[in-house]
Amino acid sequence: MSTVLVTGATDGIGLETARQLIAKGMRVLVHGRNEARAQDCATALNIDEKTETAAPVWGDLASLAEVVALAAQVRTLAPALDCIVNNAGVYELRRVLTSDGLERTLAVNHFAHHLLTRLLMPSLDAAPAARVVTVSSGTHHSGRIDLDDLNAEVGWTPYGAYSNSKLANVLFTRALAKRLARTSATANALHPGVIGTKLLHAGFGSGGAPVAQGARTSVFLATDPSVAKISGKYFVDCRETPAARGALDDRLADSLWAKTEEILKSFL
């Protein structure tokens, strides 16, 4: 049975992604911000499916120390990890710094998933053909990465911070795919669509499509044989789609990777 980690799996697109993966016969490590939320989610999924294929893992992605602890939980439960779905995300309405001194939107949406993926590479390497799936957004087209001001000390806005983090997701995917090129592992990013989640309502107002639609492309990239050897690409509605011009800048992708590694060096 393949094992998949889904971050931010206790509600919204993440919960539906976990549910659909379980329906496909996979074991899912459901990540929540704390133990109680993760445990409640796993229990509910196991009741729904009358199986024990959901297991809880937890950690606040706004804390790099908790990301390290989360990775340790995952390595224990899955010495061989077939897929990570980097799904969790936040949309902040005001500029907040984490306890690590990082702007919170980029900390959760980018730094945490970069660190988690890097720490789980031994488990991914142990799987026959691992996949790293990262949920970006169409808003990445509006993003801008200033390597000298990743904390957005100048001109911070809620939408700007969010779109910048979503651009970082695509650049991370491109840089990771380059580093996985000589392995059987792949890395791809996606836009889930405009989906009626708490994040959408907090940042953009009401409306949005059902979460079942929002989970579709994540599940496709995590499971479909047709994309087993495709890497470094961006998908919308289960189709490879051109990313923004800035997201195709390999020099920027490598520079962001190097800057991120420098910031995270004491946790790697």
pLDDT along the chain (268 residues), means of 10: 96 94 96 97 84 92 98 98 97 96 98 98 98 97 97 95 97 98 97 64 58 92 98 98 97 98 98
Distances (CA, A) of 154 to 43, 119, 160, 189, 263: 44, 31, 11, 28, 19
Residue 19 tokens read as 């549910």
- Do the strands 27-32 and 54-58 form a parallel or antiparallel pair, or are they unpaired? parallel
Going by C-alpha positions, the residue among 19, 24, 138, 15 that lies closest to residue 88 is 15
State which residues form the domain around 81. Answer: 3-264
Going by C-alpha positions, the residue among 242, 237, 187, 244 that lies closest to residue 214 is 237
Going by C-alpha positions, the residue among 119, 69, 93, 54 that lies closest to residue 261 is 119
Yes or no: say if 213 and 168 are a contact pair by the CB < 8 Å rule.
no
Distance CA 75, CA 94 (A): 35
CATH code: domain of residue 56: 3.40.50.720
Residue 71, pLDDT score: 98
- pTM for the full predicted model: 0.95
Q: Render pLDDT for 168-183 as a digit per residue (tens, 0 to 9).
A: 999 999 999 999 999 9
Phi-psi domain of 189 (left: phi exceeds 0; alpha: psi -120 through 50; beta: other): beta
Residue 252, pLDDT score: 98
Yes or no: say if 187 and 231 are a contact pair by the CB < 8 Å rule.
yes
Distance CA 223, CA 215 (A): 12
Residue 207, pLDDT score: 56
Residue 207 burial by Cβ neighbours in a 10 Å radius (0-12, 13-18, 19+): exposed
Distance CA 124, CA 82 (A): 6
Measured between alpha carbons, how far apart are the two ends of the chain, in Å? 29
Distance CA 24, CA 204 (A): 32
Yes or no: say if 23 and 15 are a contact pair by the CB < 8 Å rule.
no
Q: Which residue has the tokens 């796993």?
A: 42
Q: Render pLDDT for 129-138 as a digit per residue (tens, 0 to 9).
A: 999 999 999 9
Q: Which residues are catalytic?
A: 162
Residue 196, pLDDT score: 54
Distance CA 162, CA 32 (A): 21
What is the tally of structural domains in the chain?
Answer: 1
